[in-house]
Amino acid sequence: MMTKSDTIAEIMRINPTVNSAFLAEFPADELSEYLDRLSGLSVPKSSHGPANFSRSTMSRSAAVAAGAA
């Protein structure tokens, strides 16, 4: 299991526009879940079938990525 600092560093590696201080406000488990989703976005998806995100998950991910949540 990654430390919270390691998780933040990995998120910032994938999304360098996010602010580390903003990410630090979130609990480690939420950061880990976000990293899992973000990592999945960097892998090409099959064009067969819908994405596996609910509207609320997508909104939360977008807000975190934008630094607005």
Give the residue extent of every domain in the chain. 1-12+23-40+56-69
Q: pLDDT tens for residues 10-51?
A: 999 999 999 999 999 999 999 999 999 998 876 665 555 445
- pTM, rounded to two decimals: 0.60
Give the DSSP letter string of 6-45. Answer: HHHHHHHHH-TTS-HHHHHTS-HHHHHHHHHHHHHHTSPP
